[in-house]
Chain A
Amino acid sequence: MLRFLVSLIIGLVVGLGIGLYLGWVRFPVEFVNSPASSLSQRYKDDFIVMVASGYLKDGDLGGAVERLRLLGVANIPAFVQEVTERYISNSQNADDISVLVALSESLGRLTPIMQPYRRITETGG
């Protein structure tokens, strides 16, 4: 009987490990109905590029900020700045960088590294 109990306990421990591995790693729960704040960084970045493009199209800064609230970020200007600088450092698409710089500048976050990507606006005269 003791032999059986010892084997049972060893089996339980081994089985528990296998079960946790399967449940957490191999076949983890796939969430649906997730908030946008839990999006992976890649998709958050893409979302910001889309919103920044929309801002350049319609010039609605308030609307852009309101859309970015969806990501659940506390400090939106700082977040846009961080994403923009990361895009520049990683040599991402120049057009994407350009729209991000425009949004970041409108949010008062123009840093020296962004200067070359600024859009030059012709002034009348």
Chain B
Amino acid sequence: MGDYETETGVPRRSKYRRPRREISWVGLLIGVALGIGAGLFYAWAVDTRVEYDTEPWQLKPSDRAQYIAAVALGFSYDSDLSRAIQRLVELRPQVDPIQEVADVACDLATTGYASTSSGLRAIRSMMQFYRLQGRSGCADSLIPFEDQATPQVVIDLPTPTPLPPASKTPTPESAVRPSPTPPRVIAPTVQPQSDYIIAAINTFCATGSSGVIEVFVQDFNGQGVPGQAVRVRWDEGSDTFFTGLKPERGPGYADFQMEAGKGYSVEMPGRSDPTSQPLVAAPCVTEGGDSAISSYRVFFRPA
């Protein structure tokens, strides 16, 4: 009986007699570790991924300053503080975002940026922005806040023509006495029915807003007018709603959900005529090939 046999003659299990594994786990682990290290080195140092979807906080300082100037310019137009703050927060400022505007304005005021008129306007917009929020910066002392360079429009009023000197000859009194003018009766006129007109009706097809009438009531400058009543009529009824209830779409915006296959007319009650043709909620196909219901954009503007 050999050393590796039991008394029954069955060979005893020995590490020398176990079948060899195909894989060396030690080698595999060392390989994985080396591979991960090499992969990370390659990905981070040799061939870094092409940059995309860069956010404002990643901008270099000079471009970041320009971005902040643009935020202030936007605020100077729409006076939307929350929107401006949101834009500034996306820059992930290390300090108070409004104070950063003051700091950047200070930096820009000491550079060549302030030597151009557009640069000056941008800095003044920034100054206006942070001053309104109670902050201050060195730009306040470097740049006069009032735009003194703005040319003043001088309107030459027409010179009044002097009246001719009074004649010494007395004007003979007319023998005919004028008959008393009958009192003018001014009949009250009816308030104009159409102080708004439908400036445009556009059709579009989108799955996101399928079968929707989007109404925009605008003033002469194209600015949305909130609180305006809009009425939609169809065969069985009508509905009146108001602009400005969805401020994210603008102050002069309102919308109405149509039912497929029906026709609708839109008007501003008492202020505009209804649409001459019904807006039909007809099936349509989007650019992506999806089925939807046709939608409309109706623009009301002052007549």
Contacts of A125 in B (CB 8 A): none
Enumerate A67-114 residues with CB–CB distance to B below 8 Å.
Answer: 67, 70, 89, 91, 93-95, 98-99, 102, 113
Distance, CA A53 to CA B76, complexed state (A):
8
Q: Are A23 and B43 in contact (CB under 8 A)?
A: yes
Q: Which single residue of chain A is at the shortest CB-CB distance from B22?
A: A3
**Which of B43, B55, B250 interacts with A22 by CB under 8 Å?**
B43
Q: Judge if B77 is at the interface, Cβ distance under 8 Å.
A: yes
Contacts of B22 in A (CB 8 A): 3
Q: Are A70 and B63 in contact (CB under 8 A)?
A: yes
Known contacts: A23-B39, A24-B49, A116-B199. The answer to whether A11 contacts B32 by CB under 8 A is: yes
Number of contacting residues on B, CB 8 A? Answer: 80
Distance, CA A66 to CA B211, complexed state (A):
42
Q: Which single residue of chain B is at the shortest CB-CB distance from A51?
A: B70
Q: Are A34 and B27 in contact (CB under 8 A)?
A: no
Distance, CA A99 to CA B74, complexed state (A):
10
Distance, CA A33 to CA B54, complexed state (A):
10
Q: Are B73 and A43 in contact (CB under 8 A)?
A: no
Contacts of A91 in B (CB 8 A): 204, 206, 208-209, 214, 249
Contacts of A89 in B (CB 8 A): 204
Q: Are B118 and A67 in contact (CB under 8 A)?
A: yes
Enumerate B6-54 residues with CB–CB distance to A below 8 Å.
Answer: 20-44, 48-49, 51-54
Majority-rule SS of A interface residues:
helix
Q: Which single residue of chain B is at the shortest CB-CB distance from A22?
A: B40
Distance, CA A3 to CA B248, complexed state (A):
66
**Which of B25, B29, B216, B221 interacts with A119 by CB under 8 Å?**
B221
Q: Are A5 and B121 in contact (CB under 8 A)?
A: no
Distance, CA A21 to CA B44, complexed state (A):
11
Q: Are B24 and A50 in contact (CB under 8 A)?
A: no
Q: Judge if B231 is at the interface, Cβ distance under 8 Å.
A: no
Q: Are A40 and B74 in contact (CB under 8 A)?
A: no
Known: A33-B59, A67-B70. 9 other contacts (CB 8 A): A3-B22, A7-B28, A11-B30, A16-B42, A24-B49, A43-B55, A50-B73, A57-B76, A63-B119
| Chain A positions near chain B (C-beta within 8 angstroms) | 3-24, 28-36, 38-40, 43, 46-47, 49-51, 53-54, 56-58, 60, 62-64, 66-67, 70, 89, 91, 93-95, 98-99, 102, 113, 115-122
